[in-house]
Structure 1
């Protein structure tokens, strides 16, 4: 895993030495993504500069160094990620260029030669992996910026002062011209609704994400237009989810998962796995252990609050599988060491507070390993979230209300404060939530509400098309795969892991697995009448682990943030609330804080969203 950065100068007075200094400053900002080496290159005929930070995983020699030139000297590439079917690429290359010889054993070299010999589109059709790529075609004078199919690896792009720039993280753009950056009001509005910033937006106006499964190709003339919208308008799809075909079975799925796990176990550095004790991570660990000649290393996080702690379940599964397991217990003192750095880790406001144990888990795993496999993707691909089933019940309940009474009924239920419901033994937060769903007018709006951290904020529009033939469960999975997964889950894991220089691989997000899963009818993914999904994964796991170890409610990966904010984090939060930033009206967020401390409402999720934005703003000097 690595970090990439580059820029195209529109400043005619910039000389080579100044350009070299700038690209080095850009890569210095992401040293954590690649602490092993760095490399830089500039084109002699155009003001293009490329930079790379290397975390050595495959081929630790200089033969894997970047930026890398193709053997025909037409292409130069910087690459962040892993290609898991390198052998397949080599065979395809050999059919048309059997004389090809490689300097080393890195997937980077094979990928680059594939672009040179097979072509851009054919290579993208073949490769399986996670990646962000910048490929410069010296002959055509075109720059190709490419992001993997599901959005595992980040890639930002846009104009920053007199430069057209791109990078793995936003912090790499700051050395170019930080004073020119402005906060995007639209991105900030969406952040306050979701707690994350959806693609294609970033927190900076005019800086965008390359969307998953997309490629942006730019010529010199394109860049010289200085049109900020080309970063969006010229992005083209090279892969998209096919939801029309059905008919796969679990036997094929087993073979598919065995293969994808095995491919992700290829590494020239120590390797392990995250094991929470849930279905997804347990299955990945089981398939790893089955294909390993020695106990694999597994890691889990524990909380002092037993209601949130899954570590004992993980330990029992690890013992049954025979892994070399480590549990790391997180407490308030440990979080205080992590929280001040969150704005550095995530670059832009991000408020999924499972970010805290995720960073702690990555820090622990990094002590022994450089690569870790995870179970990310199982819920979105195999219909696993509880909220899918909860929403179906809520909407069925809502349908019983006449349209003319829905708004009235909702207002009546929301009128008493949550604290009053709590005093009479009811769950006030849940009742307020149900009241909100009663008045939702459409299914997709209700789905977005399940993702919201603050439903008082005006709901944004979905920025992608949803196939009309999908049923309710499939529609929720589709929205999550295009929104919550790439912009929350994968952002959280990528930044947390790379901040600690750890590479995380996700077999359940393999392109083949996703395509295979979407060919399975929804009936094969859910347990009818039981309010739960991931049936094929559960059935496979039962071949490795006794059912009594896994047949239990999912607890999630959530720290007791509400208790922490009322405990040792109270002073830290109070200081952030009282510091003026121009992001929020001071009186409103002080009232939010007071209502939380008094127990009037349980608004800790919305409050954490405010705190993360305040922390980000205080530590950034851009004009808000």
Structure 2
């Protein structure tokens, strides 16, 4: 993780060549290849490189949402027009989202709490009509520091370095007095050392909820699991320490897992040029300021793509797959979610209790706190539990295992049956 001395202009040119080569290698296929295009810098950069390597017809696919005020499809159209692709679009509404949950739980095999899974699965379904392989921009954020959380964590790190113990005590007092849960959480995070503050890019439940319902031991167990990773990067720059953890945990356990399973549900192979090993090795040796400049992530990638892709896309803030779950769970999906989580015998009710679930639902519907992450995680847990651990499907899986004695029982089934 040691950064080498380098020139920014030279490194941006080198990154361009690495992207071109990574894309060229991933275009090798005996079947049609397409592009998942979001209108962000990552997928547009991949599309630009695909155009350089194969100037012939290129098909791109984008997803949007009914009543979307963010204009995600509009950005994807701008990118498609600039790249000259044959562009296709998929529209996901709340009814399709709800109806896809059971199928998603089945294909994931495990309850991965990420709202982007369903739009990704629908995108793969549409793409399979025309292509078999797709390239996407996944991995750029972890390699080149694209997530906004990195800048927030570094700001807290600098504040702790200046304020020391006095600041920690002041933040502890302020945090206890803060009324808004989000402010209280940030004040609490700011007083902690980095290994206790940064637990990764995506989390469904905040520390207070985990401690309240599962006890302090649950949080301690999470810290202990991540501790060996922090130990390996002792002395490295805080940004590189976070990127290392996300490369070891977030990428394999969430981002790549969901991308592979949701696309393979429709027999589509997803390839990710930004995780090419030569590109990764080069990126790891770059100084932090070429990745994160102030609060702007992927600085070197923006330099690399300047003049190659539209300026608006170049300067656009990170969006990801902005599923409008907050809005849906306050309106059309509120009652279906409530019924699912509070049903007699629901696993969520058994874990948290009906009162706690009612509290999460009411906080979200009233607008006091955005609880979309928690509610979606619990809903998907219910679908997964029904798919694999209850009723006829479990019996079907058991019979399938008996017929194929050469294949051992999955870990989750062993855990469920206590064997």
TM-score, normalised via structure 1 length: 0.56
3-state secondary structure, aligned to 1:402: helix
The partner residue of 2:2 within 241, 244, 248 is 244
Question: How big is each residue's C-alpha offset from its partner over 1:417-447, in whole Å with a ceiling of 9 and x where there is no partner?
Answer: x4xxxxxxxxxx542332331342x112211
- Contact map agreement 2:19 2:273 (CA 8 A) in 1: yes
Give 1:274 deviation, angstroms.
0.8
Question: How big is each residue's C-alpha offset from its partner over 1:542-563, in whole Å with a ceiling of 9 and x where there is no partner?
Answer: 2322323422222221211122
- Contact map agreement 1:308 1:560 (CA 8 A) in 2: no
Greater radius of gyration (CA): 1
Give 1:567 deviation, angstroms.
2.5
Question: Map of 1:93-132 to 2, 5 A cutoff?
Answer: none
Give 1:390 deviation, angstroms.
1.7
Query: In the aligned structure 1, how far is the partner of 2:196 from the partner of 2:78?
Result: 41
3-state secondary structure, aligned to 2:100: helix
Query: In the aligned structure 2, how far is the partner of 1:520 from the partner of 1:438?
Result: 27
The aligned residue for residue 497 of structure 1 is 263
Give 1:585 deviation, angstroms.
2.6
Query: In the aligned structure 1, how far is the partner of 2:190 from the partner of 2:287?
Result: 29
Query: In the aligned structure 1, how far is the partner of 2:100 from the partner of 2:56?
Result: 33
- Contact map agreement 2:137 2:272 (CA 8 A) in 1: yes
- Contact map agreement 1:277 1:550 (CA 8 A) in 2: no
The reply to whether residue 612 of structure 1 matches residue 370 of structure 2 is no
3-state secondary structure, aligned to 1:483: helix
The reply to whether residue 256 of structure 1 matches residue 14 of structure 2 is no
- Contact map agreement 2:13 2:304 (CA 8 A) in 1: no
Give 1:615 deviation, angstroms.
2.1
Question: Map of 1:369-388 to 2, 5 A cutoff?
Answer: 369-388=131-150
3-state secondary structure, aligned to 1:533: coil
Give 1:448 deviation, angstroms.
1.1
3-state secondary structure, aligned to 1:329: strand
The reply to whether residue 548 of structure 1 matches residue 312 of structure 2 is yes
The aligned residue for residue 7 of structure 1 is none
Question: How big is each residue's C-alpha offset from its partner over 1:315-355, in whole Å with a ceiling of 9 and x where there is no partner?
Answer: 11211111111122221122123122221021111111111
- Contact map agreement 2:57 2:86 (CA 8 A) in 1: yes
Give 1:397 deviation, angstroms.
4.4
- Contact map agreement 1:275 1:300 (CA 8 A) in 2: yes
| Change beyond 3 A, Cα 1:482–1:500 | same
The aligned residue for residue 55 of structure 2 is 293
- Contact map agreement 1:349 1:612 (CA 8 A) in 2: yes
Q: How many residues align?
A: 366
Q: Report the structure, 1 or 2, having the larger strand content.
A: 1
Q: Report the structure, 1 or 2, having the larger helix content.
A: 2
Gap runs ≥5 in structure 1: 1-242, 419-428
- Contact map agreement 1:363 1:500 (CA 8 A) in 2: yes
The reply to whether residue 443 of structure 1 matches residue 225 of structure 2 is no
3-state secondary structure, aligned to 1:508: helix
The partner residue of 2:203 within 435, 443, 452 is 452
Question: How big is each residue's C-alpha offset from its partner over 1:112-148, in whole Å with a ceiling of 9 and x where there is no partner?
Answer: xxxxxxxxxxxxxxxxxxxxxxxxxxxxxxxxxxxxx
Query: In the aligned structure 2, how far is the partner of 1:489 from the partner of 1:311?
Result: 22
The aligned residue for residue 506 of structure 1 is 272
The partner residue of 2:185 within 407, 420, 433 is 433
Gap runs ≥5 in structure 2: 211-217, 391-415
3-state secondary structure, aligned to 2:28: coil
Query: In the aligned structure 2, how far is the partner of 1:544 from the partner of 1:372?
Result: 21
Query: In the aligned structure 1, how far is the partner of 2:315 from the partner of 2:150?
Result: 19
The aligned residue for residue 391 of structure 1 is 153
- Contact map agreement 1:494 1:504 (CA 8 A) in 2: yes
The partner residue of 1:405 within 153, 170, 182 is 170
Give 1:477 deviation, angstroms.
0.9
Query: In the aligned structure 2, how far is the partner of 1:314 from the partner of 1:492?
Result: 22
Give 1:623 deviation, angstroms.
4.9
- Contact map agreement 1:577 1:590 (CA 8 A) in 2: no
Question: Map of 1:312-323 to 2, 5 A cutoff?
Answer: 312-323=74-85
3-state secondary structure, aligned to 2:228: coil
Give 1:395 deviation, angstroms.
4.0
Give 1:305 deviation, angstroms.
4.3
The reply to whether residue 281 of structure 1 matches residue 43 of structure 2 is yes
The partner residue of 2:363 within 571, 581, 595 is 595
3-state secondary structure, aligned to 2:62: strand
The aligned residue for residue 532 of structure 1 is 296
- Contact map agreement 2:62 2:73 (CA 8 A) in 1: yes
Give 1:478 deviation, angstroms.
1.0
The aligned residue for residue 77 of structure 1 is none
Question: Map of 1:216-365 to 2, 5 A cutoff?
Answer: 243-244=1-2, 246-247=4-5, 249-365=11-127
The reply to whether residue 573 of structure 1 matches residue 337 of structure 2 is yes
- Contact map agreement 1:275 1:282 (CA 8 A) in 2: yes
Query: In the aligned structure 1, how far is the partner of 2:34 from the partner of 2:71?
Result: 21
| Change beyond 3 A, Cα 1:523–1:469 | same
| Change beyond 3 A, Cα 1:396–1:577 | same
Query: In the aligned structure 1, how far is the partner of 2:173 from the partner of 2:3?
Result: 43
Give 1:588 deviation, angstroms.
2.2
| Change beyond 3 A, Cα 1:438–1:521 | closer
- Contact map agreement 1:304 1:329 (CA 8 A) in 2: yes
Give 1:289 deviation, angstroms.
0.9
Give 1:584 deviation, angstroms.
3.5
Higher relative contact order (CA 8 A, sep 6+): 2
| Change beyond 3 A, Cα 1:259–1:450 | closer
Question: How big is each residue's C-alpha offset from its partner over 1:3-43, in whole Å with a ceiling of 9 and x where there is no partner?
Answer: xxxxxxxxxxxxxxxxxxxxxxxxxxxxxxxxxxxxxxxxx
